[in-house]
Structure 1
Amino acid sequence: MFTLMSGAYRYFTKQDEYNVLVLGLDGAGKTTLLEKIKYTTTGISGMSPEKIQPTVGVNIAKAHIQRRLVKFLDLGGQEDLRGIWNSYFSDSHAILFVIDSGNKKRMDEALSVLLTLSRAHELEQVPFLVLANKLDINDITALAQVKELVNGAADNFDNRSVRVLGASAVTGEGVQVIINWLFNSMLENNNLRPPLSSEF
């Protein structure tokens, strides 16, 4: 009887779980973006941008969207930490790649890292959202430049879903659009990248 009740409980409390990897170079604004995603999805304020330190390891934000659990995993972007990224690839459902749209000196490095990700076998069927961040301090031409870089590398992404958007992790401009695009893209990709299962 206990086994039957336990099984029924698990059935009625389970939910689909999706993992979004938030990747990019150090200093791109990934953790600030994560805090804004937390606020946008829960209404709970997190750390203020001036108190955020570089990520060493992983920061996680959880959002419940349409009875599904979406986990955003912010991984450290320093060069010596990027080696751990691939240990998260197999359980990922989308990549949110964050670029500091105003840092022209590191744009080529960011593109190189993005292209390396696009060639990773475990990410072949995963949608990519490339985010031109910090538009609150950069003009609109910064977004156009990021789009031009990604469009020039379009062949590397095969037939997967790829989008370039602009946003400001500080002001929150564009963050809801990011969340919506990622969520819808993961649902549309269910047959190629099924969700995990977790309990409420």
Structure 2
Amino acid sequence: MYTLLNGLYKHITQKDEFFVLILGLDNAGKSTFLESAKTRFVKDYKGKNLGKITTTVGLNIGKIDTNGVRLNFWDLGGQQELQALWDKYYQECHAVIYVVDSNDRERIHESKESFVKMLSNSNLTGVPLLVAANKQDLEECMGVREVKPLFESSDEHVGTREVMVLATSGLRGEGVVEGIDWIAQCVIRNKHVRPPHDKENG
């Protein structure tokens, strides 16, 4: 009887699980964004020194419970040679956070090329998308008004999915909570298109 009740309790209290990709060029601030989010959402999480986070080679993961769901984050390396691995994760994901280094004007078009290539993959059709115009703490950075047209001009790839371009600073935490909350609400609204992972199998 205890086993039955315990199983029932777990089933009722277990949250729907969604998977969110964090993509963008190397040095855009993806890992800093994720760490900043974890320090704000995960109770008693001490976190890393945000000023000393190095380039991701491979994968960083994170888990955040908010809005009654569990968001599992996959922060993937953005170097050219690692971008070929991104599409292996598209079919399983429920949302994408694409991080743009707003302070790197020289690579902004390279970032857009990676963005368009990502969106042209049919496995991402209809998946909600947050474009984080990151590093807004730097004086010379491009504001959202400058970044937004560049990344919204890909209408044929964006399609009917939910999209938001948001000013963020992973280092200072600006826009991070707003962005994560928006993603959580999107995956809930979009669950008829991309259902959460089965509670039994995770």
TM-score, structure 1 as length reference: 0.91
Q: Is the 8 A contact 2:16 2:70 kept in 1?
A: yes
Residue 162 of structure 1: how far off its partner (Å): 1.1
Moved more, 38-47 or 129-138: 38-47
Taking only the aligned residue pairs, the percentage that are identical comes to 37
Residue 14 of structure 1: how far off its partner (Å): 3.5
1:63-142 → structure 2 map (5 Å cutoff): 63-138=64-139, 141-142=142-143
Question: Which residue in 1 is equivalent to 2:41?
Answer: 41
Residues 47 and 7 of structure 1, relative CA distance in 2, 3 Å threshold? closer
| CA–CA distance in structure 1, aligned partners of residues 80 and 116 of structure 2 | 15
Question: Which residue in 2 is equivalent to 1:24?
Answer: 24
TM-score, structure 2 as length reference: 0.90
| CA–CA distance in structure 2, aligned partners of residues 72 and 11 of structure 1 | 22
Question: Which residue in 2 is equivalent to 1:182?
Answer: 183
Q: Is the 8 A contact 2:95 2:127 kept in 1?
A: yes
Unaligned residue ranges in structure 2 (runs of 5+):
none
For residue 169 of structure 2, give the secondary structure of its aligned residue in structure 1: coil
Residue 66 of structure 1: how far off its partner (Å): 3.4
Q: Is the 8 A contact 1:101 1:138 kept in 2?
A: no
| CA–CA distance in structure 2, aligned partners of residues 81 and 21 of structure 1 | 14
* 1:95-121 alpha-carbon deviations (Å, 9 max, x no partner): 000000010110001001110111111
**Matched positions, count:** 200
Residues 187 and 138 of structure 1, relative CA distance in 2, 3 Å threshold? farther
For residue 181 of structure 2, give the secondary structure of its aligned residue in structure 1: helix
- Supply the RMSD in Å over aligned alpha carbons: 2.1
| CA–CA distance in structure 1, aligned partners of residues 16 and 171 of structure 2 | 30
1:62 aligns with 2:63: yes
Q: Which amino acid aligns with 2:24?
A: G
Residue 7 of structure 1: how far off its partner (Å): 5.5
| CA–CA distance in structure 2, aligned partners of residues 15 and 142 of structure 1 | 36
Residues 135 and 92 of structure 1, relative CA distance in 2, 3 Å threshold? same
* 1:36-85 alpha-carbon deviations (Å, 9 max, x no partner): 01011014231112321111111111111133211111100111111111
Residue 31 of structure 1: how far off its partner (Å): 0.5
